[in-house]
Amino acid sequence: MTGGASGIGLALGRAFATSGMKVILADIETDALAAAVGSLRDLAPDVRGVACDVADPASVERAAAAAFEAFGRIHVVCNNAGVGGGSGIDDISLENWRWVLDVNLMGVLHGIRSFLPHIRAHGEGGHIVNTASMAGMVSGLGFSPYGASKFAVVTMSEGLAMQLKPLGIGVTVLCPGFVRTRISESARNRPARYGAARRPDPASQAGQLAARLAELGRAGLDPRDVAAQVLHAIREDELYVFTHPDMRAELEERFAAILSAMDRAAAR
């Protein structure tokens, strides 16, 4: 469970522990990770923590090895760690794009690459959960590394599901809307190799969008509700989890535009 020290990751860990699963939480934020592990120990004794930077493939490999050593067999993996930031056309920062893509996209890839062999090896089946976003379905954030990363996670998950189904391994892609997490404070965990985070001008379009997103997040869905939906999706082998059905109209608008373009192509 990457990004397991807070937000959706911690809620998933709590839901899994409550259901009787052995749980290992992974997170880059070590103090918060220790507190998260301690908070779950009353629910289940088999809860561990491991420091992990999902942008670093070697770090994810070490987390996979720690999970395998602790529990022997791995059945469910949640590639959940994510960061936000770097939207807009006024200040296109390569460092922001690299950071967001390295965590949100490559972090998922690293998790699949490191954990999937363990799941395949025991032959008992399993499940992989990849956290995307409604930003991976609609483009309301504009020109955004966050949106680009989440669109990629959706298509990765769809393709992965096709290839793993014959092996008895399920895949779920989680596409939440606004949830009460600390993703608006992602810069607290930004490694120095990506340079200092640059706050957008509050008066700029990017600054106003960031403030609005933070406000919506504070009023968002309880992460425990998201975790309950994910647990149900794992049990029922459902590919998609949409936590905010009220966003259906935005999806329909996008799909209608795509189908209209296809109709025009056919007419030509």
Active site members: 146
What separation in angstroms does the CA of 237 have from each of 7, 11, 88, 170, 221?
23, 20, 37, 6, 23
Q: Give 47's strand partners.
A: 23
Fold of 7-267: Rossmann fold (3.40.50)
Stated pTM of the model:
0.94
Report pLDDT for 256: 98
CB 26 within 8 A of CB 4: yes
Q: How far apart are CA 194 and CA 200, in angstroms?
A: 17
Residue type, 191: P
Q: Give 174's strand partners.
A: 131, 241
Give burial (CB, 10 Å; 0-12/13-18/19+) of 259. Answer: exposed
Report pLDDT for 152: 98
DSSP state for residue 259 in the 8-state scheme: H
- Grouped pLDDT means (10 residues each) for the chain, 268 residues: 97 96 97 97 90 98 96 96 88 94 98 97 97 96 95 98 98 97 92 84 64 71 98 98 96 97 98
Report pLDDT for 126: 98
Ranges of each domain in the chain? 7-267
Q: Give 131's strand partners.
A: 174
Report pLDDT for 197: 79
Structure tokens of 123? Answer: 């032959």
Structure tokens of 197? Answer: 């985070």
